[in-house]
Structure 1
Amino acid sequence: MYPDSSQTLRPRSLTVSELNRQARHLLESSFMQAWVEGELSSLSRPSSGHWYFSLKDQRAQVRCAMFRGFNQRLREIPKEGDQVRIRGKVSLYENRGDFQIIVEHLEPAGLGALQQAFDALKARLQAEGLFAVERKKPIPDTPRHIGVVTSPTGAAIHDILTVLARRCPGIPVTLYPTAVQGQAATASIVDAINRAVRHNQADVLIIGRGGGSLEDLWCFNEEAVARAIANCPIATVSAVGHEVDVTIADFVADLRAPTPSAAAEKISPDQSAWVARLAETRQRLISAANRQLRQQNIRLDQIAARLRDPRQQLQEKAQRLDDVELRFRHAIGQRLAKEHTHSNHLAQRLMAHRPSRQIGEQGQKVQQLGERLQASLKRQLETGNQQLEAAARTLNAVSPLATLGRGYAIVSSDDQTVVRDPASLSPGDRIQAKLAKGTVDATVSSVHTESGQTP
């Protein structure tokens, strides 16, 4: 019986779980990470701490899940209807087959665009060197005139003037009014900075405003404002917002203050400290003057005590002159005697080293050396002859020729091998005997060994 062919060719079916698992793997491998922007809706926050919501636009929506480890990083909880921007992994919830995004980061939609613009401008200006420490101008310790670029109606100018009035009211302050919020604020701030430069009175310029949102402070992140601060010949202090707020103006300015009040504190000297320093300096000057007067009086008394009758000084000078003259004459006499003795000594040395005497002495030395050389050569020749005769006698004693002279012979075979044992020969072999005065060729007729046996 044959199997049903329709059953053997049927493809294997996937279970729903297998299908959803393969779909999830495909989605996660195709979309590593994605940024998605839309309106937040259907936010659910169960007791587990995880968030579940939908992100939608005018034509579609997608489910999202943000687990507790990620949503706890947010400063504020989003609400229904917020436009948000999320970053996450595209996935599939296998149990229900729901397409979803696993969210890792969530931010207001507008904030993300502003932050990107902030980071891009910061990187570009930093690459140009506008933030470099070496280009920053020093802030004067005691400014002669302070300029303030801010709103005339804001809290910043009030805080600055209050601090300056308390610390050092004698320093003049000029306000260069400007808008610090809105579309026209950028051009207004640039114009106020240029007016301060043209006015040419202030030697330090505070640029800033009070706190606000990122959008409120955005005019201080504009490139035009940054370049106006960088090109300003006056030393600049950025005082924008609160301590946690950071703007491009803070990086470009010569000094960054966390608040407008802090800026006034940093650039103004403390009047009470000045008064104390002046009083201390006055007391030190009085003490120094009194000390100098006492020292000069003591010196005057010492000079008066040293004053004497001029005639007594002349007598002393005359006596010292006579004494110097006597010492000079004595020194000249000693020097002449010393030079005379030295001259005689040189003459004697010159006579002792005259050339004729040295030539005679060197001639005798040459003659003596010649005689010693001849005697040495003669001794060496005699010694060499004796050694040669001894070597000849020794060589003659061990020479095989001497042995041959006593009637002995050296026997060798046809291949010139010396025969030492008759057992190595056979009757009929050709041999050669070397005698003292020639050689003899012979043929072996018989061989006898020491035992008397023929091999």
Structure 2
Amino acid sequence: MNGEHSAVFTVSDVNSLIRDLFDGAFQPLWVTGEVGNLTIHRSGHVYMTLKDASSQLRAVYFGGAAVCSAMKLREGMKVEAFGKLSVYSPRGEYQLVVRTIRPFGLGDLQLKFEELKKRLSEEGLFDEARKKPVPFLPRRIAVVTSTEGAALHDFLRISLARFPGLHIRIVPAPVQGKAAAPKLAEALRIINRECAADVIVLTRGGGSLEDLWPFNEEVLARAIAESVIPVVSAVGHEIDFTISDFVADLRAPTPSGAAEMIVPEFEALKESVDSFSSRLRTTALLQWEQARTRVENACRSRAFLDLSYQLDELTQRLDRDLTDAEDALERSVERAERSLDRTLAELEAYSPFGVLKRGYAVVTGSGGHVVSSLRDAVPGQEVSVRISDGSFTARVESTGAPE
């Protein structure tokens, strides 16, 4: 019989062969169709069926949950999906492995969104490390939005209800149309130059992808990234995601949500402060009482009493030592005075003037030199005679040797 000696394949082998044929035969391609059987798995993968009037094709978008949520993918929606045909071996089914998906008719905008998002992400503009913290209680809030939209009304209503009297500056700017993105970017730069706020809220209400497109423009993304002041992006509804949301320091789901996120409730804040003050007083009093009790217990302890006795003994010993030192010093002074008196007496005794008191005199010539020899005395010479209590002048009448 024909084929008796042919190779026998398992089902897995056959499916693998078909998968290899698919992988080699088909290049990535665009497929358009209507979405059906849509499932967004918690793993982040998206499963669906693409169909037209007469056929259907299974499709899987690995990790595409965020993109599909941003574009509001739903059943019955017509889309364009770009991907590669492949075989899912366990079931023997072929499917489209999606790489990019966009709404039919708005494909160019969605593609621009994905391309800009990827480029800015690679630059690091979405990194959490570069995002600035929003102040806990901003004193000045600048709101950049249209004065005609509901977004401003919602933000003001919630903010002032939570914290009456809060300083809010409104910076008008268009939020739709081709001129909107440059105007919004310039508003951010003006606020930064004037240092006119502690936080900036960039907001508008919901709308279609085209309506929200100014918030997907690169010029606005750059202005947000360059802002020194923290920027909160509150654009559209909770399911709407824009480039501004990714670049901003904080994303709020709605304008009202932005107010709730950055403006604390005054009454709750006041209660917290009062509660903290009360706990602080209670803690301080408790610590004071504990310290006082420890001191009292220490004063009553034997160690403290022994220390007190030792201190008294040391004080008495110090008093005795001081008294002894004073007595010794007084005796030393008396001895020094007596020694000084003796020395002065000796000096007086040996002083030439002390000799004069014993009847001697000092004779000096006209030049003031002492006449100590007959050679120094000339008859007729006037001399000065110094005695113990004064001096007088005399004349030499004659000279002669002692008898």
Q: TM-score, normalised by structure 2?
A: 0.53
Structure 1 counterpart of 2:155, from 157, 160, 166: 160
| Partner Cα distance (1:32, 1:295) in 2 | 81
2: CA distance, partners of 1:322 / 1:67: 116
RCO comparison, higher one (Cα < 8 Å, 6+)? 2
Question: Take 1:118 and 1:254, find their aligned partners in 2: how far apart are those partners?
Answer: 20
Deviation at 1:270, TM superposition (A): 1.6
Look up the match of 2:219. Answer: 224
Q: State the AA in 2 paired with 1:67.
A: Q
Task: Tell me the residue number matched to 2:74.
Answer: 75
The 5-angstrom pairing of residues 425-440 of structure 1 reads none
Alignment of 1:32-431 (within 5 A): 32=27, 34-35=29-30, 52=52, 65-67=54-56, 75=74, 77=76, 85=80, 108-287=103-282, 316-319=314-317
1:242 and 1:104, CA in 2 relative to 1: closer, same or farther beyond 3 A?
Answer: same
Indicate how the Cα distance of structure 1 residues 313 and 225 shifts in structure 2: closer, same or farther if over 3 A, else same.
Answer: closer
- Structure 2: 5+ residue stretches without partners: 1-22, 35-48, 60-67, 86-94, 305-309, 322-403
User: How many Å separate the matches in 1 of 2:158 and 2:297?
Assistant: 57
Q: Structure 1 pair 285/147, CA: closer, same or farther in 2 (3 Å)? A: same
Larger Rg: 1
SS of the residue corresponding to residue 110 of structure 1 reads coil
Find the residue that maps to 1:131 and give its secondary structure. coil
Distance 1:191 1:162, change over 3 A: same
How far the C-alpha of 1:150 sits from its partner, in A, is 1.0
Match of 2:37 in 1: none
Distance 1:303 1:223 in 2: 73
Q: What letter corresponds to residue 190 of structure 2 in structure 1?
A: R
CA distance 1:50–1:159, change in 2 (3 Å): closer
SS across alignment from 2:200: strand
Which ranges in structure 1 are unaligned for 5 or more consecutive residues?
1-27, 44-48, 54-64, 91-101, 307-311, 324-455
Gap change, CA 1:292 and 1:88, over 3 Å in 2: closer
How big is the shift at 1:230?
0.2
Change (3 A) 1:162 1:113: same
The change in CA–CA distance for 1:33 and 1:186 in structure 2 (over 3 A counts) is same
State the alpha-carbon separation in 1 of the partners of residues 297 and 84 from structure 2: 97
Alpha-carbon offset, residue 115 of structure 1: 1.3
What is the CA-CA distance between 1:283 and the residue it aligns to?
2.7
- 290 and 316 in structure 1: CA distance in 2 versus 1, 3 angstrom threshold: same
Q: Tell me by how many angstroms 1:144 deviates.
A: 1.4
- For the Cα contact (< 8 Å) 1:160–1:260, is it kept in 2? yes
Deviation sequence 1:48-75 (CA, Å, 0-9, x none): x99655xxxxxxxxxxx442757xx973
Distance 1:201 1:157, change over 3 A: same
Distance in 2 (CA, whole Å) between partners of 1:29 and 1:264 is 55
CA apart distance, 1:284: 3.3
Change (3 A) 1:78 1:262: closer
The answer to whether the 8 A contact 1:66-1:104 is kept is no
Distance 2:114 2:52 in 1: 31
- What's 1:433 paired with? none
Q: Helix, strand or coil for the counterpart of 1:175?
A: strand
Bigger drift between 270-279 and 115-124 goes to 270-279
Deviation at 1:303, TM superposition (A): 12
Aligned length: 257
Q: Structure 1 pair 78/170, CA: closer, same or farther in 2 (3 Å)? A: closer
Q: 1:130 is aligned with what amino acid? A: L
1:173: how far off? 0.6
- Contact 1:66/1:103 (8 A) holds in 2: no
- For 1:175, the aligned partner's letter is I
Q: Secondary structure at the match of 2:106?
A: helix
8 Å CA contact 1:149–1:175 kept in 2: the answer is yes
Identity of aligned residues (%): 44
What CA distance in whole angstroms lies between the structure 2 residues aligned with 1:87 and 1:295? 74
Q: Aligned equivalents of 2:114 and 2:142: distance in 1?
A: 30
**Aligned residues of 1:149 and 1:178 also touching (Cα < 8 A):** yes
User: Which residue identity is paired with 1:251?
Assistant: F
Amino acid at match of 2:167: P
For residues 139 and 204 of structure 1, the distance between their equivalents in structure 2, rounded to whole angstroms, comes to 7
Distance (Å, rounded) in 1 between the aligned partners of 2:111 and 2:228: 30
RMSD: 4.4
Change (3 A) 1:144 1:107: closer
CA, structure 1 residues 287+109, in 2 after alignment: closer, same or farther (shift >3 Å)?
Answer: closer
Q: TM-score, normalised by structure 1?
A: 0.47
Give the equivalent residue in structure 1 for 2:338: none
In the TM superposition, what is the alpha-carbon distance from 1:36 to its structure 2 partner?
A: 7.3
**Structure 2 counterpart of 1:93:** none
